[in-house]
Structure 1
């Protein structure tokens, strides 16, 4: 067991950037998109589309407590991994791996999605099996291949730490002295909903500053929104996802079995190989791409969509491919323009600071721990954290 840090920790009493502290003492998000009242999803990606409902209303102290928990390896079974091991600040809040690696040292079958703008999402995991952030976090916390912990040990570790007991009291002043699971889940949720990315060069262009994009990037945006490419049909601005399940027939990495995806979640054969449409926010930071990291660069990723409907579906497998997946026959220069545009979606101006110290006294972990455990692709099954 690690020794607790010596210095006292005082949680911030101010809200993160873009949040207003209300008279009730909670943080309310404000964005430039609040000025629009158009219905998200109409057309193929209007520049002034409104955002969907979001989660906010947490106190500054709850958000800041979640930040410390997020980076503290005390939350894993052996104190070797933190939440930030798979959601690293320098990798777009993903981990740069095709498939993430947890305490077991094994690759899990799916990649770690970015956490930017999770406040707006209505389902979680690639197969959409969780409907809230609180439900989602049970996967990585307790899955044997990820953080490997269990509720009993998690509570024991935090309650044995006087620093955390004091911090939880700051965040939940009306609660009892003992830390509870709901308090942990709420704090981690509060922190994740503060991760807002809505001020990229694209956003500046959308709000009227047209010099924010150069000519190639504007041409790429026009291709993205066109009825030929249809990218914006699924990756709808301003979130750049429609939050739906799409069956696109992306290939698995060599040696890996077919991942049936959302078919299992909904017990629906028509969703075989279906996965949530991911956000494209900060996409240049989150390679490799697709649910299992099949493509290691954006150029190959966008080219997949123009190689022919169903070209990568395994022989003998029937998939009900999404109707947007067709054959736009984009030229090489058009694919290059698309990549240029996608890079304008980068905005990490509200990246929260990594704590220099965490209450456990352990070193805050913001990277993937390398292990020597052998990986067996053929027997892999989706873990709870993907």
Structure 2
């Protein structure tokens, strides 16, 4: 039997790579003769580099020292360089919210460090860029990143603006003449959110509070992003433009970057479809594990597990095989998950078994995770 393990991360509890390994180890302990394939997934946020490196042994992981963290402190950056010249950069590596520690700075946090990683990748000869957006600490519209690449913003007195979304409302003039050209193979932005840049569903209103912004700071960030859109033009209303505090908008407006669903793009990089094609069973899962009593309704941005996004016509949910056990009292019995069958005439397809709390998983996975981020 051929089994593919392709989970995304379970935020706050376990990484995608560790989840895949734990599931595979548990399966192997019961069925040691099965052929197991591990494909840790990601949606463009945290874990994207690890997923790419796990699937491509020849990938070069290159360190970029001395990057500017979201709060100005120095952090180490890293990017992956594929054999075809594609650089894979994860914004959270140098500009992620966890790098802020307990003291958040919603008005001054910056994406400058991500720009330094991108510049290093281009200097190294990268001809195409995949930028994973997720887990950002800032709401600066990507201006910190773009400043490293040559964009300049000035206030009415002609003074350069400092980093951070809190200063953007004072922007009076923008200079793009010195902006570094995009790589010849183009720029693809990987995100799992569909928020526009502005408005009640925009970057500041939805994600500003989890980055430390109160009502006054959120209004100031909204005003700053509005002013940025007036100067840059582009399509601030586009789905996904609000990803990573508006970084998606900034790169789309200046570099013509394409905003794409992260999970599908990562799956292409991992050649997940090829692995699924010959599989008898696919085990996947994503999100976070919480006690049943604390389980929340899915958010508006929830979407199917990664393999389902790759090939929606070739999967269905199946209950896991179980070993005989004593009957449980009615109050403790677990409901049987629904079974989704492939359409008639679709041929033999591998079922997808979403990982569930309590099946071959470490007990520490029951801890509750923090809020989702952009």
TM interval, short-chain normalised: under 0.3
Greater fraction strand = 2
Comparing both chains, which one has the higher relative contact order based on Cα–Cα distances under 8 Å and sequence gaps of 6 or more? 1
- TM-score (ref. length: structure 2): 0.25
